[in-house]
Amino acid sequence: MLSMQGQALAQKQQLRTIPVQIQANAILNMSLLELQQFIETEAMENPALSLDDSSRCPVCGFMSSSPVCPVCSASLAKSKELEQVKLSERDYLDKAFAAAGHDELFDPFRTVARTATLNDYLKQQARMIFGGRKLRIAEYLIDSLDDDGYFRESLFETAEEFAAAVPEIEDVLEIIQSFDPPGIAARDLRESLLIQLRAIGSIEPRACNAEQILMDYWEDFARMKFKTIAKNMSITPAVVIEACEFIKDNLTPRPASAYRTEFDELSPRHEAAVVPDVIVHRVGDSLTAEVVDCHGSFAKIDETYEETYKSMKSGGDYFSEDDRMHIKEHVERVRCILDAISLRKKTLARVATHMVEYQREFLLYGPSHLKPLKQKDVAKALGVHESTICRAVADKYCRLPSGEVISFEVFFDAALPVRTMISQIIARSTEPISDGEITKRLTEQGITIARRTVAKYREQLKVLPYQLRAA
């Protein structure tokens, strides 16, 4: 009987801790801006949560104890001084922004996100064609596209994901390849160029010759063997060069760059500011990581609710059952959230400190000194589950001593040193250099990788293929 009671008690305790764990995991996964939005929403819905508005940026509304707002870069101290002076709204924003040391005027779109992404646009087109299972496959394929708009994943693995046959996945992918912008969802450069060329629909000789070159003489085109192509096509080298010029002038190796939002020409030229979750400070050769805490100090339990809750706990019997339930639920939820925010800060501090120590050379001397690091290695070193590390670094950003803000994903990017070397090799070359030559020079420096890997890294660097750079 005793063991059964103990088991029942353990189950009851376990059931009570699950919501707290879920809340803590959810908050750990949030970026700084997401956390602020969550707290603002909670404060509107939960009267037991009180926010101190005295440290709120008067320009963008972000809560910060920093002298300069991390979102809009306005000077908080100067903003409060300007509130005492009668100024127009535009003059007020310009002066508050300039007080932080910025030469340019305040851009009101600086804190506004774009309304529609390429991913949104493609899914909108997919919903007009697909439904049910095929729509889920289409959205999965769209989510798998890289930054340039290519589908680089394995069709076989995608088919396994949906317990489908590869031809079914190929059929959906082929339809996505017909979407706007032309060339999207291609599996390689050749396929993308052909899709774009056929979308143009031109019947002029240059376009027809360009299609034949891409279809039948791709390897020779990649090596710029114009005379060989001309001989095989029974045309002059000048005609081949004209066809290649048509490819260069009308097609793009990055189909995603062809996407433009509605009224794009009127949209702001600057991206929204990235707010760092962690700031790395450097004093001499010493590095320290500071977690930006914009909420732990400003969010608290409302005094009235806290006093009432304590009175109720001490045995006050002048509360109705509904009042008790209301106060208990709201106060305990705030406590749960505040504990989760505190835990987020501690966890992020541990992770950031470990990564700063491990990647010390990278932070001091640059990308070529980045050491291989995996999330499971950090989890093992800190004695936590790998999922905790995954949540701690998800959508988080770090400001380096140089002032540059980078994603935490960079610390785990094992290919960064090689990409840096490739970038340096291309920059130092006086003439266009092929992927094969880059591979050879990397080998001379002790880096042995395949030519196709060099091509992949070059594409990630947004560098055109050799034949397009040399054309």
Give residue-wise pLDDT tens across range 85-122: 555 555 545 555 554 444 444 444 444 444 567 888 89
- Residue 405 belongs to domain spanning: 278-412
Instruction: State the average pLDDT over residues 32-47.
Output: 85
CA 310 to chain centre: 44
pLDDT band at 399 (very low <50, low <70, confident <90, very high): confident
Residues of the chain with pLDDT > 90, as a percent, come to 10
Among the three residues 412, 433, 461, which one is the final residue of a domain in this structure?
412
* Three-state secondary structure call for residue 450: coil
* 351: pLDDT strictly greater than 90: yes
Per-residue pLDDT averaged across 265-281, rounded? 65
| Residues 406 and 325 both lie in one domain | yes
Of residues 151 and 272, more confidence is placed in 151
User: Does the residue 58 lie in any domain?
Assistant: no
> Are 229 and 328 found together in one domain?
no
Q: Are residues 130 and 254 in the same domain?
A: yes
Q: Is residue 360 part of a domain?
A: yes
Domain CATH number, residue 435? 1.10.10
Tokens of 376: 């499971």
Do 119 and 205 fall into the same domain? yes
**CB environment 144-182: b (16+ within 10 A), e (fewer):** bbeebbbbeeebeebbeeeeeeeebbeebbebbbebebb
122 and 209 share one domain: yes
Q: Are residues 213 and 329 in the same domain?
A: no
Domain identity same for 444 and 393: no
Q: What is the CATH number of the domain that holds 247?
A: 1.10.10.1330
Least confident stretch, 202-211, 217-226, 291-300: 291-300
The pLDDT value recorded for residue 349 is 93
Residue 81 is assigned to a structural domain of this protein: no
| CA atoms of 223 and 221, how far apart (whole Å) | 5
Q: How confident is the model at residue 348 (pLDDT cuts 50, 70, 90)?
A: very high
Query: Does 88 reside within a domain?
Result: no
What stretch of H or E contains 418?
helix 416-428
| CA–CA separation, 90 and 86 (whole Å) | 12
Pair 59, 96: CB distance under 8 Å: yes
* End position of a domain, from candidates 234, 260, 286: 260
* pLDDT, average across residues 180-205: 87
Q: Would you place residue 174 in the very low, low, confident or very high pLDDT band (cuts 50, 70, 90)? A: very high
Please check whether residues 251 and 128 belong to one and the same domain.
Answer: yes
In angstroms, rounded to a whole number, what is the distance separating the alpha carbons of residues 67 and 446? 47
The structure tokens listed for 198 are: 């056929």
Mean pLDDT of the chain: 78
- Domain membership flag for residue 45: no
Residue 222 lies in a domain: yes
**Contacts by 301-307, CB closer than 8 A, 24 or more apart:** 301/48, 301/49, 301/50, 301/331, 301/334, 301/335, 301/338, 302/47, 302/48, 302/49, 302/50, 303/50, 305/47, 305/48, 305/330, 305/331, 305/334, 306/48, 306/331
- For residues 191 and 115, membership in a common domain is answered with yes
Q: Are residues 284 and 256 in the same domain?
A: no
Asked whether residue 115 falls in the same domain as residue 255, the answer is: yes
CA–CA dist 435, 414 (Å, integer) = 20
Contacts of 3 (CB under 8 A, 6+ apart): none
Q: How many CB atoms lie within 10 A of CB 129?
A: 14
Q: At what angle do helices 118-129 and 166-176 cross, to 10 degrees?
A: 110
Bridge partners of residue 201, in order along the sequence: none
Is 272 within a domain? no
List Cβ neighbours of 287 (8 Å cut-off, separation of 6 or more).
280, 281, 356, 357, 360, 363, 364, 401
The number of domains in the chain is 3
Shared domain check, 240 and 124: yes
Domain boundary among 260, 293, 314: 260
In a domain, 451, yes or no: yes
- Name the region of 404 (left: φ>0; alpha: ψ -120 to 50; beta: rest): beta
Distance of CA 201 to the CA centre of its chain: 36
Q: Considering only 4-13, 18-27, 56-65, which range has the smallest mean pLDDT?
A: 4-13
